[in-house]
DNA sequence: GGTGCACGTTGACCCAGATCAAACGGCCTG
DNA sequence: CAGGCCGTTTGATCTGGGTCAACGTGCACC
């Protein structure tokens, strides 16, 4: 590529502006007054674009900032020395990445864009500074972290007690619900991740994920074409979850 | 019982005093100056004693405070409507309980004492207030929450990718390391939980846990008598973890 | 507009861990 | 000190999902 990788652009357009962002209600600015959001605007650094497959950060990178997803879709994963890895989460617009790094000042997982994406950089020392000034920001940030803990407990439950089809049903319902919150259709969506990535997240092999999709389709619960999913029987999927194994 | 359950005692002895506590370096006061710890003393409410089996809080209880374990041992668990449950963690002295409740203002899991225990009540609004004043407290609290997230990722890894014996080895090494940090022997300790609770945490049935213990003993890795564990070959246990399945 | 390759599906077989069952041991209580 | 009970161990058998293998399929890139 002959051009330098920093392309001269209108800088004001690169600067994140929470006050103008349609994700305000899902993201950090939630619950802030206009005045307070303006202060957050000052804090949030440049936006950053990532191509599909690019790392936002890697395990071992020094922790400096949190990242709010403006556009796109990410996964986080952990890689053990012996080669085993596990997807620990999928993140979509309005969600915050990077909180794994606060405790050790080093990131403990990898964050990878699953489609072309755009994130807002939130330098962490400044975030702490501002949340000492703005009570609502402080409290909301604590809520975001707490919810991440609760989400993780849900995944532990899923991995520890659920059967393959229950896991996949839970996964689909969770995606559906999150897409809905972002104004997309609850019934119809496009999976950004491969069967293998779904399997890794759910503690299953890709073949098992594929078979479960086929079974759901046979049973008329969903229709699947490649990565395109349509939920035909929401209640049926939910029923799968609340049923005792056996 | 004829006596009321609030027994008149010297009130100053009931009041928590971080400044006097030998867990300072493991708990919230970590990294604070003497002055700052004194402020924390004012914030931390009464201590509370719990008998073995008693709930510290239940899923659904309104969230009001965090709890620092002064003495004792706890488990947290989640119960689904269909009766399935999962232990999400075991907590020991110096660790903080209750962070699951911040996000929704309601606790999302149960916290139960596995032995007679004593905790310090940290009213959350006051903690947020003080951490707006004391930078080090704010930052340390964020670290504590972040580490909980990272711990949960570790459990997800364990549940998603490890075989039964690897899970148990990881569990024993983790306990050993945490006991060590508290000044107890790394080789020898008493399990506060049943085989069933270990199994629930590790996504295994109690019979599988029992068999894995027996196998470890046959192989000379540990000795087990009831809940008394002695680690004989730490390196051997570690090797179990880094080996590829099959 | 082919063609290569990554991703996905499906089938056959296998095994780790679940399930079912029985017996044991330490402890608490009467 | 007997009896009962909870937690644990151990054995026998079963099975959900893993593993291995072959074959489709759609998209990206010449």
Euclidean distance between CA atoms A157 and A131, whole angstroms: 33
- The single residue listed with the structure tokens 């072309």 is A116
What average pLDDT is seen over chain B?
Answer: 92
Residue B240: is its pLDDT beyond 50? yes
Asked if residue A175 belongs to a domain, the reply is yes
Residues B88 and B190 in one domain: no
Distance A114 CA to D18 C1' (A): 27
Residues B176 and B91 in one domain: no
Distance A81 CA to D26 C1' (A): 35
Asked if residue A155 belongs to a domain, the reply is no
Asked if residue B103 belongs to a domain, the reply is yes
Average pLDDT of each block of 10 consecutive residues along chain A (246 residues)?
44 70 93 94 91 96 97 96 93 98 98 96 97 98 98 98 98 97 95 97 98 97 95 96 65
Residues A143 and A204 in one domain: no
Residue B4: is its pLDDT beyond 90? no
Asked if residue B3 belongs to a domain, the reply is no
Residue A170 is predicted with a pLDDT of: 98
Residues B114 and B88 in one domain: yes
Q: Which of B158, B173, B194 marks a domain boundary?
A: B158
For chain B, the domain total comes to 2
Residues B115/B192, Cβ–Cβ less than 8 Å = yes
Query: Torsion over CA of A91, A96, A98 and A104, rounded to 10 degrees?
Result: -130
Asked if residue A4 belongs to a domain, the reply is no
Asked if residue A76 belongs to a domain, the reply is yes
Residues B68/B119, Cβ–Cβ less than 8 Å = yes
Q: Which of A122, A148, A174 marks a domain boundary?
A: A148
- CB contacts under 8 A, B 175-204 vs A, are 200-203
* CATH code of the domain containing B195: 1.10.10.10
Residues A114 and A204 in one domain: no
Residue B246 is predicted with a pLDDT of: 39
Residues A206/A167, Cβ–Cβ less than 8 Å = no
Residues A127 and A171 in one domain: no
Euclidean distance between CA atoms A195 and A201, whole angstroms: 10
B191 sits in which H/E element: none
Residues B138 and B178 in one domain: no
Tell me which residue in A82, A99, A153 faces B100 most closely, judged by beta carbons: A153
Residues B204 and B108 in one domain: no
Residue B104 is predicted with a pLDDT of: 98
Asked if residue A47 belongs to a domain, the reply is yes
Contact flag B161-A203 (C-beta cutoff 8 Å)? yes
Parent domain of A195:
162-242
Distance from CA of B105 to the nearest CA of A (A): 9
Residue B244 is predicted with a pLDDT of: 58
Condensed to tens digits (0 to 9), the pLDDT of residues B15-55 reads: 668 999 999 989 999 999 999 999 999 999 889 999 999 99
* CATH code of the domain containing A143: 2.60.120.10
Residues A119 and A214 in one domain: no
Q: Which of B158, B184, B210 marks a domain boundary?
A: B158
Euclidean distance between CA atoms B225 and B214, whole angstroms: 10
Asked if residue B2 belongs to a domain, the reply is no
Residues B178 and B212 in one domain: yes
Residues B41 and B141 in one domain: yes
B193: the nucleotide nearest its CA (via C1') is: D7
Residue A82 is predicted with a pLDDT of: 86
Residue A45 is predicted with a pLDDT of: 82
Condensed to tens digits (0 to 9), the pLDDT of residues B67-126 reads: 999 999 999 999 998 889 999 999 999 999 999 999 999 999 999 999 999 999 999 999
Residues 169-208 of B with CB under 7 A from strand D: 191, 194-196, 206-207
Residue B64 is predicted with a pLDDT of: 97
Residues B191 and B79 in one domain: no
Backbone angles phi, psi at A96, to 5 degrees: -105, 130
Q: Chain C positions under 7 Å from a protein CB?
A: 7-12, 16-21, 26-27
């Amino acid at each position: 590529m002959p051009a330098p990788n920093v392309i001269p652009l209108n800088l004001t357009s690169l600067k994140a502006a929470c006050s103008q962002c349609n994700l305000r209600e899902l993201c950090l600015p939630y619950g802030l007054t206009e005045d307070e959001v303006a202060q957050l605007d000052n804090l949030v650094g440049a936006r950053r674009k990532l191509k599909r497959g690019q790392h936002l950060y890697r395990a071992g990178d020094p922790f400096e900032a949190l990242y709010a997803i403006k556009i796109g879709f990410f996964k986080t994963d952990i890689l053990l020395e012996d080669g085993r890895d596990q997807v620990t989460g999928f993140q979509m617009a309005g969600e915050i990445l990077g909180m794994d790094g606060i405790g050790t000042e080093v990131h403990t997982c990898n964050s990878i864009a699953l489609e072309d994406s755009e994130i807002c950089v939130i330098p962490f020392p400044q975030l702490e500074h501002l949340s000492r000034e703005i009570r609502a920001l402080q409290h909301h940030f604590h809520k975001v972290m707490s919810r991440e803990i609760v989400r993780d407990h849900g995944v532990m439950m899923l991995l520890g007690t659920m059967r393959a089809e229950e896991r996949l049903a839970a996964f689909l319902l969770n995606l559906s619900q999150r897409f809905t919150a972002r104004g997309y259709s609850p019934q119809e969506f496009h999976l950004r991740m491969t069967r293998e990535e779904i399997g890794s997240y759910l503690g299953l092999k890709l073949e098992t994920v594929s078979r479960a999709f086929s079974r759901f389709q046979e049973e008329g619960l969903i229709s699947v074409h490649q990565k395109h999913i349509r939920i035909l029987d929401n209640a049926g999927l939910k029923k799968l979850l609340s049923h005792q194994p056996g």
